[in-house]
Amino acid sequence: MADINVEEVLGKLSVNDKCDLLAGKLALSKFAPFPPGGIDFWHTKAFPEHGVPSLRFSDGPNGVRGTKFFNGIKAACFPCGTALGSTFNKTLLEEAGKKMGEEAKSKGAHVILGPTINMQRSPLGGRGFESISEDPILAGLGASALVNGIQSTGIQACIKHFCCNDQEDKRNACQSILTDRAFREIYAKPFQVAVRDSSPSAFMTGYNGINGTYCSENPKLLQDMLRTEWAWKGLVMSDWFGTYSTTDAALAGLDIEMPGPPRFRGDALKFNVATDKVRKHVLDERARTVLELVKKCAASGVPENAPEIAANTSETAALLRKIGDESIVLLKNDNSVLPLKKEKKTVVIGPNAKVATYHGGGSASLAAFYAVTPYEGISAKLGSDPGYTVGCHSHKLLPILGYFVNTPGGNQGMSMKVYNEPSGASPRELRDQVDVLKTEILLADYYNAKINPDIWYADFEGSFVADEDCTYEFGLVVVGTAKLYVNGELVVDNATKQTLGEFFFGCATVEEKGTMKLKKGETYNIKVEFGSIATYTLQSPSMFGNGALRIGGCKVIDYEHEVAKACALAKDADNVIICTGLNDNWETEGSDRAHMGLPPGMDNMIESVAKSNPNTVVVMQTGTPVSMPWINSVPSVVQAWYGGNETGNAIADVVFGDYNPSGKLPLSFPKRGQDNPAFLNYRTEGSRVLYGEDVYIGYRYYERLELPVLFPFGHGLSYTTFSMSDASVALEDGKVAVGATVRNTGSVKGAEVVQVYVARKQPAKINTPPKELQGFAKVELAPGEEKSVGVEMDVKYAANPYWDEERSKFCVEKGGYDVLVANSSVCTERTLKGEFEVPETFWWNGV
């Protein structure tokens, strides 16, 4: 893209042009001719006569999807946000950001919609897996590293969701009610740190409001704090469909409404400018900011409307595996059961073993270049396939059927044949044919010039051969209508009677199911007759354009028989690996979890298998904590998160000791859901949610109440041992420099995280947490090696400042401060101590 002179272009644009610049590109409705490529969610409007190109935005938090929901170009999927946080490695995250920037270039995108740094206020948050930590400093420093990496490539980062977008329950109709103190010390702080250390080029506002005013139209948030106090210069965009006003949003500082077509900008904004509800100088401010982002994006070298390609390289795979390895946290390892020996007889049990659970649901989902299952990763280490059984199902919705069937042409997946006429009509002309692998299909941007945009139909066809006599269950979720037939027999009807559910952002039906008895060796042909959104008997959300469809299916198991089978398999093995956890149905944008437990029956299965074999290792894949009532029955637990493309390889690397785990928990694991500080206040009631725990989020709460947790913040074991010594603390020129010597006292190479916490020596004017994380550093050491590690912090941050609501400034109180250097948030006799003194109380704001 060519460089532009912002002021010169601004002077040439008409009022109407400026208004059009402040919303996503006009996407023609489904009742008008389709634009090339279908409905547009991702572009700004171009003004070629003035040399202003269209910008392309792309999700997102753990990989760059590109512009397509339907049948898009495959991409690199990074470990989820919580996994990135668990690395405690700023250098690695900056490297990850650089790779994300390269991925954006391959998708022709100028701006990445990420990272996500909302606080993990509760373990139940549907998008908790997207965020980095429950701690604002860890989240802010991690986000800064990612942003610096992304923006070093010329691609710009859009940090999100500003602010307090911490739950999914009625997220568009909820006000977060909290004190100024909690807002400043916890929820705004990671964004503040990111502005200080990386200056992201864009911010995305949250869907919610704060204390009565929606984020996208909140002048205190956008103008007073972000732009004036923090002196940040950049673009503010709404979350998709997260704009709720014309005048208020423009005056508050919202630059772009996304996506197009505009709902509150467009003609509405033009009228309000003409009537001086929005003054022309305000319009110029908004337009100038957009043009400045266009100018920045010119440095990326990404042309306007660039083609999208899959940049699947060995270098990308190696980096994804490295991040996956470093993200895994060894929670427990009694009797050094791990690492396992490859020559021993190994069995694998569990529903996550043969499914690559590599991302959470919603905006974070994408079609990966490939995805390695734990079973595949383990088999590769062993050189042969280990014994396997599922043990217990864990799905919320039936597993995606496309992975288990073949198209009529013999490819994995299902064939989609598109018509303008419904099934049974004659004549019926085939208009399009596409093979789809992942039969969870959002058709918002599906386009073909030959189809009728008002209403069309599709048949999805695939087949498989039954490998045993069994009962098979099929399921359909739809925005539109759908019926599923097996060998011509109607098994699932999700057309005649439909019930609204929570999937596809709360716009689709519940999953309608049906069963059929299968015989071993026989072929079963599946056909789904789909009608586009115009056939939907429920609400018709415009964001879904053509509609959506999810086809699922799996064998029905006898639970007691399957658990007994798993126990028998385990009893006869040396090594037992249970692969379990949640998936993108349980942890997803659009809904929060109802409780902290694993899917029904899973806890009992784990307990039963552990009784059959004392060397049982549990590999847990979740993005946020789950309860573990069986924890005392198993010797080893590995927290593997959602690990991206290399999920299975990273798990196998750690389990067999080819990589020594070094991850640390970026959030606390409570024993029970009832123990978490937001338990009584984690849903929308009367259009608001009360942040009753105030500043006591995560470990701050558990330590203040002396409430035991299952695993503490910062916890993570290793296959080697480390010692720390020679702590030093120096305060000079407004900086606190903390040093320590770390030694690998074990027999294998490993990495340790030096965590620096600060505690007041004397009570503050107000109640405060016992201690707070203020910095960290990671160091890798060979056996017997030692290194000096340093962490430097600004004293105005390091001295645990609290927000003084009487002055609307941060306060650093005069007095002594203990510096605690440890490898987790739990202080022991091995914790190193130092101190520094603040000679006079002072107040500050800004960054």
Catalytic residue numbers, as ranges: 239
Instruction: Note whether 279 and 47 are within 8 A (CB).
Output: no
- Give the separation between CA 81 and CA 538, rounded to whole angstroms: 35
646 vs 691: CA distance, rounded Å: 37
The position carrying tokens 């021993």 is: 344
- C-alpha to C-alpha distance for 350 and 362, rounded to whole angstroms: 24
SS3 422: coil
DSSP 729: E
What is the distance between the alpha carbons of residues 678 and 779, in angstroms, rounded to a whole number? Answer: 34
Cα torsion 316, 320, 322, 325 to 10°: value is: -160
Of the candidates 663, 827, 819, the one whose C-alpha atom is nearest the C-alpha of residue 752 is 663
Taking the alpha carbons of 334, 340, 345, 347 in that order, is the dihedral positive or negative? positive
Q: What is the 3-state secondary structure (H, E, C) of 664-719?
A: CCCCCECCCHHHCCCHHHCCCECCEEECCCCCCCCHHHHHHHCCCCCECCCCCECC
Quote the crossing angle between the two packed helices 136-151 and 189-197, to the nearest 10°: 40
Q: How far is CA 348 from CA 11, 38, 100, 338, 520, in A?
A: 67, 44, 33, 15, 24
Q: Which two tokens stand for residue 268?
A: 């509405």
User: Rounded to an integer, what distance in angstroms lies between the CA atom of residue 509 and that of residue 839?
Assistant: 63
Dmax (CA) of the chain: 88
Q: Is the dihedral of CA 124, 128, 132, 138 positive or negative?
A: negative
Which three-class secondary structure state does DSSP give residue 459?
Answer: strand
Angstrom distances, CA of residue 704 to CA of 67, 180, 211, 538, 648: 46, 20, 26, 49, 38
Using only the alpha carbons of the chain, give its radius of gyration. 27
CB 253 within 8 A of CB 204: no
Distances (CA, A) of 475 to 70, 507, 572, 597: 20, 17, 36, 24
What's the gap between Cα 760 and its chain centre?
35
Q: Are strands 470-479 and 548-555 parallel, antiparallel or unpaired?
A: antiparallel
Q: What one-character-per-residue DSSP string does 788-817 give?
A: EEEEEEEHHHHT--EEETTTTEEEE-SEEE
- Give, in order, the Cα–Cα distances in Å from 28 to each of 38, 58, 480, 505, 542: 8, 20, 20, 22, 11
| Helix (H) or strand (E) run with residue 517 in it | strand 512-518
- Among candidates 548, 534, 553, 532, which has minimal Cα distance to 440? 548
Amino acid identity at 751 = A
The pairs formed by 306-311 with CB atoms below 8 angstroms and a separation of 24 or more are: 306/56, 306/108, 307/108, 308/66, 308/67, 308/68, 308/72, 308/73, 308/106, 308/107, 308/108, 309/73, 309/106, 309/107, 310/73, 310/74, 310/75, 310/106, 310/369, 311/76, 311/102, 311/103, 311/106
> 741: which strand partners?
725, 788
Amino acid 277 reads: K
